[in-house]
Every structure is written in C-alpha cells, then in structure tokens.
DNA sequence: AATGAATGAGTCTTCATTCAT
DNA sequence: TATGAATGAAGACTCATTCAT
C-alpha cells in the first residue's frame, strides 16, 4: 500500500520541519505526531523511537545529498574542475537551505568515527545501533563521495586537474575543505572589530585556492568561474 | 586564595573526564560532584548550571587551542609553510587526545553561527547566552586564528608561500581544511570493501595538496616533511 | 468519556485532602499522585503544575461558595435581612468545614489585588498567570457577590433593610465584615487572661450590630434570629 | 552595646524592603545579608532562622500598628465615633504603605487560629513555635485592640456611640469590618464590566454604614466626616 | 563578632515509550 | 491501523542552614 509509505513520509517531513525550527532536543515526539495530525502511538508504529526517526532523517539527508552530487557530476559541458567548484557552492547552499539534514550528515560522520573506535563505540546510544536506518547508512554513506571521486577523475582526464593527483585522496581532501568551509561560515560572520573577513570575502578566495590546488596545465577555454551571488 | 580557583579547576577537570567517557548528555551534575568528592551544591556554587560549566570547558578548550597555535608559531627554524603543516598535525593530534575539548570548539562554532543569524539566535539555550564564559568566548574565539594568519604572513615573507596570497583568507581556508579533515577521519576509517582509503593513506596526500596549494617558488632546503607516526 | 473528568476530580479531591491536613507547601506532588494511586506523570497530564492545580482548587472553591450564596438567596420565607444573617453563618461554617477552599478564596483576593496593581503584578508567579483556571477565575470571582447584592435588594424591597442603602456598596461592606469576622475568630479564640471575649460571645453581638446597621422600620413578624449552634 | 541592636535593626529593615518587593518566599536569606552588607553567618547570629526573622518582623508590625491605634486614641477634640472612623482610614493607609507588615499581622492571626485549635497546631512550622518573637507576640497581639475598645468606650461616654453597645464585642466587630474592607480592595478594583463599584466608591458608603451601625442619639456638633483623599 | 565556602535534603517537572482498547 | 491515557525513570537546581576559621 502506498498509504503507509505516505504516512511515513508525512512524519518525516513534520520531523524535519520541527527539528529545523526548534532543534532536535527541544522537539518532542508529541509535537511531531501533533504536527502530522496523528496519534503518538502511530508515530511509534512507523518509527521505533526518536533515534530511529533521526536515523531515517539522516538516510533521507544522504539520499538528497547524493542527488546533489549526482546532478553536479552529470551536468554537461563542464570540466572536472568546474564541477568541483560547482559542488562546493551546491553543498554550502544545501547546508544553508537544509540545515537539519546537513547537521544530520555531520552528526553521522561523528557517529561513524565512534563506531570505528573500539573504545568509544559504547558511547553510542544502543537505540541508534539497533536502528535499521543506521545499518543501511553504514552501507551507503560513501555514495555521494563516489560521484566526487568521479569528478576528480574526469578532471584529470580532461586536463583541468593535475594528472599526478590520486582521485580518492584528492576528493576526500576536497570534501574536508568543503565541510570545514561550511563550519567556518559561523565564526567569520562575527562582526568583530579586528576580524577582516566575512563569508562573502572568504568564499572567492577559498575557491581560488581550491582551484590552485587542483588545476592542471590545460585550462578550459572559459576558466572555472566563481559565482558570487550565493549568499 | 588559590583554594577557590583550585576547586573550580577540580570540577572542570572532573567534568572533562566524565564528558569524555560518558558524553555530555549522559553525564549528570551529581556524577561530577561525586567525582570531585564534593556536594552538588558546591558545584553549582562555582558554575551556575550545566551549560555554564560547558562554556567554561569551552573557554579552556580555546585557551589550550591557542597555546597549540602559539607554540607552532613560535617554533624556531621553520618556514611559514612548515609551520602550517605542523599545525595540521598538531590540531588533529589535539582533537584525538582532547576529544571533548575539540568537540566543544566545534560546538562553539555552530553556536556562533546561530548567534549571528537573527532568526536562529532564539534556538540557543538562554542559559548559554547568560553564561559569562560564553560572553568571554565571543571576544576571544578568534585568537588562535591570529597565530595562523601570522604563520601565513611569515610564509609569504620567507618565500615558502606564494606572495600573491592574502593571509587572512588563506588561513581561514587552511583552517577549513583542518576542521573538515578531522571530521573526515571518521568516515574514511570505515573499513568498507569499496573504500580504498583510510586515515593513514589520506593524511600524506592531504598535506601534499595543502602544500601544493600554498607553496611559493623558494623551497626550504629541507622540504616540508610529513610525519606519519600520528595516528 | 466521563472517565477523564473523573480522574481530574480524583486528583483535585486528593489535593484538597492533603492540602488540608499538611498544608499547600508541605504537600508534594508525589504525595498527591500516590494518594490517588496513579503516576506522577498522569497528575501532570491533568494539571500543568502545582500552581495550576491550586488554581483549579480555587475555581472549585468559588463554585461551591457561589452555591452557598445561591442557596441562601433562594431559601423561601425569609426577608432579605434574614438571608444576610444566614449568609454570615453559612460562610463562617463553610470556612471552618472547608478550610483550604476558604483559604484559596482569600488567597485569590490577594492575588487579584496584586494583579490590579501595575507595580506588584510582577510578584505573581508566572505559572499562576498562565493557568487557564486563573483566567477563568478572573471572570467569575464576582458571581457569589451578585447573589449577595440581590439579597440586599430584596431586603430593601421587603422593608427589612433601610431603603436609602445602595445595594452594591452595602453588600460589599457586609462581605468585608464577614471576611474580617472569620479572620477574627483566630485571635479572639486566644484564651488570654485579659481578653473577655471568645468566638461564642462575639458572634451574637456581631450579628446584632450587622442587623442594626441594616435594618429598616418594618420588622419581620419573627425577628432575625441568631443561631448559636454554629461553632 | 547599641551596636548589636543596630545590626539587628538593619537586618530587619533590609528584610522588610526585600519581602515587600519580592515577597517572602522569593527572598533568600543571602539576599538579605547582601542587602545589609554582611555575611550570611552573621544574619543567622541575630536571627535563628528565616521564620524567626519573620516573627521579629511581625513583632515590629504589631508595635507600629499599636502606635497607630494609640495615636488615634490620643488625638484631641474628637468623639469616640470620629476616632473609630479615623482608625479605619489609618489602618487602610497603614496597610497600603506597609504591605508586608500588614500581611504579617494577618498571617499572625491565621497562625493564632491554628495555634488555638488542637488538631491544626501541628501544621505550624516548629521553627515558628520555637521563636521567642512568636512567644512574645502571643502576649502582646491584643494590645492594639485595647485602644480600639477604649475608643468605643469613650464614644459611649460622649454619646457618639449607642450606650447599649458592649465595647469589646463592638470593637472586635469593627475590627472585623476593617480587616475585611482591606481585603475587599483587591477584588473591587477589578475593572469588570458588570461591577459597579471600586475602592473609591466603596469607602464612603462603608464608613457611612459603620457610623450608622454605631452612632448614638447625641451627634457631635461637627458630624463624623469622611475623608475622600485617601486613595 | 564575622566570614562565606560547603552541605544535601528536598521536589518539581519532563518526555520517551508502552499498551489496553 | 489507530488512539491517547498512563507510566516512571531521570535529573537539574534551590536554598536554608552550618561550621571551620
């Protein structure tokens, strides 16, 4: 029945809305059921518990995230380097428009780190480990990156990226930069007297450095441009 | 009296120990008082509430963090680029050895982002906003970065970093990379079948790319090396 | 379902019992839940907090109080003055038999005074102001008095009360006397050597004075009597 | 040493100030010590505990109250009835200007009531019963009333009050009216649509009724007037 | 007389989760 | 599927009071 899938989606969307406006902690399960207009019990029928719901949200986040990566990868008439540049912009945009989804992705990265360390795995809430969504996420969380790696590979082939670079390492380095850049947007936004930069001034320089880091000898006829209309 | 300062420190150290092993949420205020061997009331005498305590912890984190930056900056006989390379290693090392402190720093960056956005400032727990430590942090959280900027400036002077780079933007880009890199260590550590990289293989490549991004024409006699004994 | 209303009533009755025997402050919410035989959580499901519960109790007090007034007003074959006399006795009786309810009424009068004074409104516990029962009380707390005013009006019509009296002012003066009289029963009960009066000796004189204050020229065939079996 | 007496007075005055502005419950002992500028320990040296302090405050309240009564009683060129009228006004004025003191007096009346009832004496906080001030109050709390009784007696003698009235009973009835009247000022202040009276309109009528209740055949040359500038 | 750090019992309140219907 | 009353463990925080100095 598509009915059920629908209910599940309604709950998830309500959760996203509420987590976004009030935060995860501050949102009560009852708020969510109320927002959807169903009983608490039914919510629990679809999602085993709050953690499970959040893991489902995280799964959705990764799916959407992968779509972003895929779209950029499949965009026509661009060099690999241009796609990488586009990706940075898209990810930052995604983060600002889907704050809670992006947070869920970052949170999942922390979770994976703990999961991979024998001594800190016990710190993870058992309910998370039990969630089927979590298990699924362990399988698929590398998928967005695969498109990224392919972009780098393409860049090497089309000469926009230096041929001596190793695609995986290069892409994960790029991803590091993206993640850090997004986090950076908070502090540099601080309007302190002594701070000379802000998000608007940081972005072009950041992209320029990223391109410098990557670019090969063969330039695209139209050099990788930096959009400034982002923020 | 040094006595009081001491108590404050004892509480903070106990909190760091417990937050590290059980997590912030899971640690009860009573656990902390018990760990120090004092009454709950006294803990509240020194720290207004749990959030205030965490902000004090964050303050300590930034102080130690700044020390790391300062030490690297003041290290003798190194080019600016070498110092930047060292900094990456030091920060990652700091993060792994002082997990909760590093988390507090990242958490504070998120907080500052919310604080700077009119619409999301209300999501911040009022107790955090009231904390004197939070107010202090708003003033000082750029300090570590200042040393970083100076490292870049030095690198430009000594020729190890390209002269056309703008120090502030360059450093904040580097910092972005560092932050993201640290987050990356979780996912890439996953021993999945299809993933070809892990922290050990990522780090040298990451540093190489960072150096490529920055380096000037004049190389140090001894090239910036990459320590591999880190993890 | 009458089930729910029932639970609410059960809680309220338990609260009345406990507040009466131990006092409001000394009664813990857990005592109440235990007395009813339900969980603490359920108590909070029906009453938002302790203040809300007390306001509900106050509402019940006013309702019962109004019933007393109505009954006296509707009693047959009595002049207005006789009804007023009865009312005094009934109120004092009500106060002694429903101590906590009467206290709640007096407490609410103090609350209203603060509420009506700009400068002292802030002294009122916010939880009280938020209570729906409090809001309701603001609307209905004059209702008992309305019956009182009608008694005076009747008295004027039937000649038992002086025709030149203004009903509202007269009744509120009477009510003042009643309230004060009830409070008086404490101190005069003190068996001090030098005090010559006690509740028993005070009441008849009090009623006589009250009647003197009010009475018209036309006396009822049977003069307004004073029951002495009250205390 | 007058020093000590002074400290005691300072504490008491600070308590009165704070209880007035924040309420008894909301005022912490530390607030009081801070207001006086001394340590908490010293406050406890002068007052055994918070209840003891409040009983001391109550004692002061009765002393001041007695002064009001005495002054009215000793005022020259007035009939007994005029003095009674003045007393009402003075008491209401006292209550509005010394809210906490007046509240303390009313509270003490409730306390005495409990104290006189075998079954409710146990509800009284033991700390109150232990307070020397409480013991003293039991002895002196009738003193203000004595002046009142004397006013009635004078009124009977000078013909302004009916000769058949029994002074004690009459005065306690008057006091009842005063107490109730003061309480009444809260509710009647409510600006409801259907309520036709307010404190200003109630007072003259109240005083008129009081005078009607008491007055003898011989009128003073200048009839007992009603001041309206009170509120 | 004086300090103020230290105590710790006391309680309200929250909310994820369950289960009888 | 669907409900929502019922549970109860969990935990932060207060503040009157004490006592070593």
Residue spans of beta strands (DSSP E) within C18-103? none
Say yes or no to pLDDT of A134 above 50. Answer: yes
The continuous run of DSSP H or E covering A215 comes out as none
Chain A: give the shortest CA distance to residue B206, in Å.
6
* In contact, A221 and A84? CB cutoff 8 Å: no
* In contact, C111 and C124? CB cutoff 8 Å: yes
Q: What is the 3-state secondary structure (H, E, C) of B159-216?
A: CCECCCCCHHHHHHHHHHHHHHHHHHCCHHHCCCCCCCCCHHHHHHHHHHHHHHHHEC
Mutate one of A172, A205, A212, A231 to test the B interface: name it (highest B CB count within 10 A): A172
Query: DSSP label at D68?
Result: H
Which chain B residues in 42-61 sit with Cβ < 7 A of strand E? 42, 44-45
Q: Provide, rounded to the nearest whole percent, the portion of chain D with pLDDT above 90.
A: 65
Evaluated on CA atoms A132, A137, A138, A140, the torsion sign reads positive
Q: What confidence score (pLDDT) does residue C119 get?
A: 81
Contacts of A111 in chain B (CB under 8 A): 186
Nearest Cα to Cα of residue A143 among A96, A175, A115, A173:
A175
**Model confidence at B1, in pLDDT bands (50, 70, 90)?**
very low
**Model confidence at B228, in pLDDT bands (50, 70, 90)?**
very low
Say yes or no to pLDDT of A220 above 70. Answer: no
Contacts of D192 in chain C (CB under 8 A): 142
Taking residue A84's Cβ as centre, other Cβ atoms within 10 Å add up to: 28
Q: Average pLDDT, whole number, for chain B?
A: 87
Structure tokens at B8: 């404050």
Mutate one of B173, B179, B196 to test the A interface: name it (highest A CB count within 10 A): B173
Nearest Cα to Cα of residue A173 among A213, A222, A228, A139:
A213
* Backbone torsions φ then ψ of B215, nearest 5 degrees: -65, 145
Say yes or no to pLDDT of D45 above 70. Answer: yes
What is the rounded end-to-end Cα distance, in angstroms, of chain B?
A: 42
Q: State which residue of chain A sits closest to B18, comparing Cα positions.
A: A123
The answer to whether B7 CB is within 7 Å of strand E is: yes
Distance, in Å, from the CA atom of B120 to the CA atom of B129, rounded to the nearest integer, reads 13
Q: Over range A35-56, report the average pLDDT.
A: 95
Q: Over range B9-25, report the average pLDDT.
A: 93
- Distance from residue D97's CA to nucleotide F15's C1', rounded to whole Å: 30
* In contact, A119 and B20? CB cutoff 8 Å: no
* In contact, C98 and C107? CB cutoff 8 Å: no
Distance, in Å, from the CA atom of D174 to the CA atom of A200, rounded to the nearest integer, reads 79
What 3-state DSSP class applies to C119? helix
Q: What confidence score (pLDDT) does residue B95 get?
A: 94
The answer to whether C50 CB is within 7 Å of strand E is: yes
Q: What confidence score (pLDDT) does residue A201 get?
A: 80
Contacts of B26 in chain A (CB under 8 A): 123
Say yes or no to pLDDT of D64 above 70. Answer: yes
Predicted confidence (pLDDT) per residue in B23-37, tens digit: 898 899 999 999 999
Structure tokens at B158: 């000594």
Rounded to 5°, the CA angle A164-A170-A175 comes to 165
The answer to whether A10 CB is within 7 Å of strand F is: no
Predicted confidence (pLDDT) per residue in B146-178, tens digit: 999 999 999 999 999 999 999 999 999 999 999
Nearest Cα to Cα of residue B92 among B125, B63, B68, B59:
B68
Distance, in Å, from the CA atom of C132 to the CA atom of D35, rounded to the nearest integer, reads 37
- Distance from residue C204's CA to nucleotide F7's C1', rounded to whole Å: 55
What 3-state DSSP class applies to C161? strand
Q: What residue ranges of chain C are covered by domains with CATH 1.10.10.60?
A: 1-47
Contact B173 A181 (CB under 8 A): yes
The answer to whether A26 CB is within 7 Å of strand E is: yes
Distance, in Å, from the CA atom of D99 to the CA atom of D90, rounded to the nearest integer, reads 13
Q: What confidence score (pLDDT) does residue D128 get?
A: 94
**Alpha helices, DSSP H only, in chain A?**
2-22, 29-36, 40-46, 50-74, 80-97, 99-116, 126-130, 132-140, 143-157, 167-184, 199-214
**pTM for this one?**
0.86
Taking residue C106's Cβ as centre, other Cβ atoms within 10 Å add up to: 18
A226 touches chain B (CB under 8 A): no
The answer to whether C90 CB is within 7 Å of strand E is: no
Taking residue C111's Cβ as centre, other Cβ atoms within 10 Å add up to: 25
Taking residue B231's Cβ as centre, other Cβ atoms within 10 Å add up to: 12
Task: Tell me how far CA of residue B139 lies from CA of A192, B91, B100, B158, in angstroms.
Answer: 8, 22, 21, 31
Distance, in Å, from the CA atom of C10 to the CA atom of C14, rounded to the nearest integer, reads 6
Q: Average pLDDT, whole number, for chain C?
A: 86
Predicted confidence (pLDDT) per residue in D168-219, tens digit: 999 999 998 899 989 888 777 655 555 567 777 788 888 988 898 887 765 5
Say yes or no to pLDDT of A2 above 60. Answer: no
Nearest Cα to Cα of residue C13 among C53, C49, C63, C44:
C53
Return the nearest residue to F11, CA–C1': B28
Nearest Cα to Cα of residue C203 among C109, C67, C80, C88:
C88
Predicted confidence (pLDDT) per residue in D66-89, tens digit: 999 999 999 999 999 999 999 999
Q: What confidence score (pLDDT) does residue C226 get?
A: 44
With tokens 């009635």, the residue in question is D152
Return the nearest residue to F1, CA–C1': A42
Can you name the CATH fold of C50-214? Tetracycline Repressor; domain 2 (1.10.357)
The answer to whether B28 CB is within 7 Å of strand F is: yes
Task: Tell me how far CA of residue B6 lies from CA of B14, D50, D141, in angstroms.
Answer: 12, 33, 53
Q: Over range A142-156, report the average pLDDT.
A: 95
Distance, in Å, from the CA atom of B92 to the CA atom of B5, rounded to the nearest integer, reads 30
Q: State which residue of chain A sits closest to B192, comparing Cα positions.
A: A139
What 3-state DSSP class applies to D12? helix
**Model confidence at B182, in pLDDT bands (50, 70, 90)?**
very high
The answer to whether B115 CB is within 7 Å of strand E is: no
Which chain D residues in 9-38 sit with Cβ < 7 A of strand F? 26-30
CA D225 to chain centre: 23
Predicted confidence (pLDDT) per residue in C146-167, tens digit: 999 999 999 999 999 999 999 9
Report the half-sphere exposure of D49 (CA within 13 A, side-chain side).
Answer: 10
Q: What residue ranges of chain C are covered by domains with CATH 1.10.357.10?
A: 50-214
Query: DSSP label at D160?
Result: S
Q: Provide, rounded to the nearest whole percent, the portion of chain D with pLDDT above 70.
A: 88
Predicted confidence (pLDDT) per residue in D128-155, tens digit: 999 999 999 999 999 999 999 999 999 9
Contacts of C144 in chain D (CB under 8 A): none
* In contact, C154 and C171? CB cutoff 8 Å: no
Find the range with the poorest average confidence among A139-153, B138-152, D206-220.
D206-220
Mutate one of A186, A189, A202 to test the B interface: name it (highest B CB count within 10 A): A186
User: Which residue numbers in chain C have pLDDT < 70?
Assistant: 1-5, 189-196, 217-231
User: Which positions 38-67 of A are in contact with B (Cβ < 8 Å)?
Assistant: none
**Model confidence at B13, in pLDDT bands (50, 70, 90)?**
very high
Query: DSSP label at A225?
Result: P
Nearest Cα to Cα of residue A54 among A21, A5, A97, A16:
A16
**Model confidence at D223, in pLDDT bands (50, 70, 90)?**
very low
Can you name the CATH fold of C1-47? Arc Repressor Mutant, subunit A (1.10.10)
Can you name the CATH fold of B49-214? Tetracycline Repressor; domain 2 (1.10.357)
Select the residue of A168, A179, A209 nearest B173 (Cβ to Cβ).
Answer: A209
* Backbone torsions φ then ψ of A163, nearest 5 degrees: -70, -25
Say yes or no to pLDDT of A62 above 90. Answer: yes
Buried b (16+ CB within 10 A) or exposed e, D147-170: bbbbbbbbbbebbbbbeebbbbbb
CA D185 to chain centre: 15
Predicted confidence (pLDDT) per residue in D3-25, tens digit: 567 899 999 999 999 999 888 98
Evaluated on CA atoms D43, D46, D50, D54, the torsion sign reads negative
Nearest Cα to Cα of residue B136 among B55, B28, B51:
B55
Minimum CA–C1' distance nucleotide for A127: E16
């Amino acid at each position: 029945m598509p009915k059920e899938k629908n209910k599940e989606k309604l709950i998830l969307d309500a959760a996203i809305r509420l987590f976004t406006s009030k935060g995860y902690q501050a949102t009560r399960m009852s708020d969510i059921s109320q927002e959807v207009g169903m009983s608490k019990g039914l919510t629990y029928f679809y999602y085993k518990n709050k953690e499970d719901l959040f893991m489902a949200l995280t799964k959705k986040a990764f799916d959407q995230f992968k779509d972003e990566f895929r779209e950029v990868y499949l965009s026509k008439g661009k060099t690999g380097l241009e796609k990488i540049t586009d990706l940075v912009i898209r990810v930052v945009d995604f983060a600002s428009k889907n704050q809670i989804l992006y947070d869920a992705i970052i949170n999942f990265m922390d979770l994976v780190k703990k999961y991979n360390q024998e001594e800190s795995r016990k710190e993870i809430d058992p309910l998370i480990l039990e969630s089927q969504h979590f298990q699924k996420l362990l399988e698929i969380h590398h998928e967005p990156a695969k498109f990224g790696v392919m972009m780098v590979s393409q860049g090497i082939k089309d000469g926009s990226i230096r041929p001596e670079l190793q695609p995986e390492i290069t892409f994960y380095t790029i991803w590091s930069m993206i993640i850090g850049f997004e986090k950076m947007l908070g502090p540099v936004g601080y309007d302190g007297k002594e701070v000379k930069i802000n998000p608007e001034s940081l972005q072009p320089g950041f992209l320029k450095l990223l391109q410098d880091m990557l670019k090969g000898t063969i330039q695209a006829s139209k050099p990788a441009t930096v959009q400034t209309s982002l923020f």
